[in-house]
Amino acid sequence: MLITDKMKQFIFITFTLFTLGFSLTEKRVVEIQFDQLFQLQQLVEMGIDLDHHRTLTEVHAFVTDAEFKQIQQMGFEIKEIPNQAKLYFEELKKSPLGSANPMEDYHDYNELTAFMQDIANSYPDITRLESIGQSVQGRELWVMEISDNPGVNELEPEFKYVANMHGDETVGRELSLYLIEWLVDSYGNDPRATDLINNTDIFIMPTMNPDGFENGSRYNAHGTDLNRDFPDQFSDPNNSTLGREPETRAVMEWSWGHNFVLSANMHTGALVANYPYDGPSSGVYSACPDDELFIHISLAYADAHPNMESGGFSNGITNGAQWYSISGGMQDWNYIWEGDCDITLEQNEVKWPNSNQLAGLWEEHREPMLVYLEEVHDGVRGIITDEDSGEPLSANISVQGIDHDILPDPENGDYYRMLTPGTYTITAQAFGYLPQSETVTVPLSGYVEQNFQLNVDPWLSEADIEDFEIGVFSDLGWSFSGNANWQTDNSEVFEGNYSGKSGSIDDNEQSTVSITLDVVEDGQIS
């Protein structure tokens, strides 16, 4: 058969429409039975979306028709179950909403926006409303900052709560609004709220996935699970926003503009506090270097809840991977790349409960949410400066015995290292400075202060330094090779105004910079 150009075009267009239609098809909710943990890992390796519900013999998941068949062929018992969240969503859509009273209905996007704007207008001295970006369908990604000096980077730890990244997990979305309202209402009346707001920079994001909520779906409007879209230490160790969803990019860039110390993201579908790491193998405990700290802060939440300990998990907490492994989750990203201790809170077995339960859920979760927020003040903190100039330094803070360093806030040099009570050796180290170590004892509650004034390493005063600050590569005898030359750059810097940057290259290309030095006497090259 002859295929004319017109026919090709026709074939191409139908194909495009077909793929578009397919990708937007809602996945089915299923229950899959298994006997052995390795079978759970088989499901993880298939790349299907496992849901939060899992026991020793069954797990819930979202699957396409093709995945359904494949799982069946692998010998699993699999059956479709009702999508409770979707059913309640349909019911809500039928009933007239329009009430901005958080005691009654869920806030849809417009009501949530109005609620946030109303709070910002009523409490301008202690709040600042910001949109950190837009969702796929153009909805604002609202963040409420609550602080005694909103918008000012103070010498205080920064904390964040992020909710509703799974659009059909709605409890945290409403609890966020309750918490915002409680904090601003109680400021000046309740000593606890006043203390928190005076001494903490609090950020609350009620929904990271407004499109998902509006569509009654776990996924964003591109059909992506946002809690699988972050850089991952095992499968995607590239801390870049390239190729990620707009909602993920917005959260990453917002986090880069801050120095968050502690955070949590709120989900539903189980009742448990889940802490890093989330991978690599399901059913196998995967401890991060701060395991003891994560257990401590997760227990703080669970212990303050009236019945979290009866949610089917020992003491109401679990290691992420031991429960079921995921890749691209937000909590591991926060911890590994941002130095921010993040846990995943599963706040209710039912994903999208009837709105008449919300007031009761707030009663249960208020104390845990406050206790967890207060944890940000525990550990060791201080300011790192240059001994001579008093200028803040971007020094590395390490704790002997815990292989996880953190950085201070670059603007003020203030650092917050969360630690469980005990005695520790802390070292501050900055390039060109002599490292300084101190022994501190973290009290049972609260923090110990330890400042560092670092001295310039005498070696540095005699050295020739290339800092690219003259804006061209001419200071030393650099040579270039490969497909593109290196350049100096003033858009991204470590310090000063310039940095060195590789040329722009494609796959299988190179951009090389090198230098040959004649060493005439003993010394160091660094």
Q: Which stretch binds Zn ion (CB under 5 A): 8-16, 98-106, 259-267, 431-439?
A: 259-267
Of 60 and 166, the one with the shorter C-beta distance to Zn ion is 166
Q: Of 212 and 231, which has the nearer Cβ to Zn ion?
A: 212
- H or E segment to which residue 317 belongs: strand 317-319
Choose the catalytic residue: 169, 346, 364, 375: 346
- How many angstroms separate the CA atoms of 27 and 50, rounded? 12
User: Closest residue to Zn ion, Cβ-based?
Assistant: 267
253 is catalytic: no
Only one of the segments 8-16, 124-132, 265-273, 323-331 lies at the binding site for Zn ion (rule: CB under 5 A); that segment is 265-273
166 binds Zn ion (CB under 5 A): yes
C-beta of 212 vs 382, nearer to Zn ion: 212
Q: Using CB under 5 A, which of the segments 266-274, 372-380, 483-491, 508-516 binds Zn ion? A: 266-274
Q: Which of 67, 168, 169, 290 binds Zn ion (CB under 5 A)?
A: 169
Tell me the window of 20-28, 159-167, 283-291, 411-419 that interacts with Zn ion (CB under 5 A): 159-167
Question: Which residues have a Cβ under 8 Å from the Cβ of 15 and sit 6 or more positions away?
Answer: none
| Residues 47, 354: Cα–Cα separation, whole Å | 31
Site string for Zn ion, 287-326 (x = CB under 5 A): ----------------------------------------
CB of 169 to Zn ion, least distance (A): 5
- The secondary structure of residue 456, as a DSSP letter, is B
Distance CA 289, CA 446 (A): 21
Backbone conformation region of residue 306, classed left if phi is above 0, alpha if psi is from -120 to 50, else beta: alpha
Binding segment for Zn ion (CB under 5 A), chosen from 125-133, 161-169, 188-196, 306-314, is 161-169
| CB burial of residue 427 (10 Å; 0-12, 13-18, 19+) | middle
For 216, phi then psi, to 5°, come to 65, 35
Kindly state the smallest distance separating residue 52's Cβ from Zn ion, in Å.
6
Q: Which ranges constitute the DSSP H helices of 268-357?
A: 291-304, 320-323, 330-338
Given 107, 173, 267, 351, the residue binding Zn ion (CB under 5 A): 267
351 binds Zn ion (CB under 5 A): no
Closest C-alpha among 258, 245, 268, 138 to residue 201 = 258
| 513 to 291, 434, 467, 484, 505: CA distances (angstroms) | 40, 29, 15, 10, 14
Nearer to Zn ion, 39 or 274 (CB): 274
For Zn ion (CB under 5 A), the number of binding residues is 3
If the CB atoms of residues 176 and 200 are measured against Zn ion, the closer one turns out to be 176
Give whichever of 346 and 364 is closer to Zn ion, judged by the CB atom.
Answer: 346
Angle, CA 367 vertex, CA 361 and CA 370 arms, to 5°: 120
Cis status, amide bond into 280, omega within 30 of 0: yes
Which C-beta is closer to Zn ion: that of 228 or that of 296? Answer: 228
Q: Are 228 and 326 in contact (CB under 8 A)?
A: yes
CB of 406 to Zn ion, least distance (A): 27
H helical segments located in 33-170:
37-46, 65-73, 84-94, 109-122
Question: Under a CB-based contact definition with an 8 Å cutoff, are residues 461 and 432 in contact?
Answer: no
CB of 469 to Zn ion, least distance (A): 47
Output the smallest distance, CB 175 to Zn ion, in A. Answer: 14
**C-beta of 66: minimal distance to Zn ion in Å?**
23
The residues that touch Zn ion, with contacts defined as CB under 5 A, are: 166, 169, 267
As annotated, the active-site residues are 346
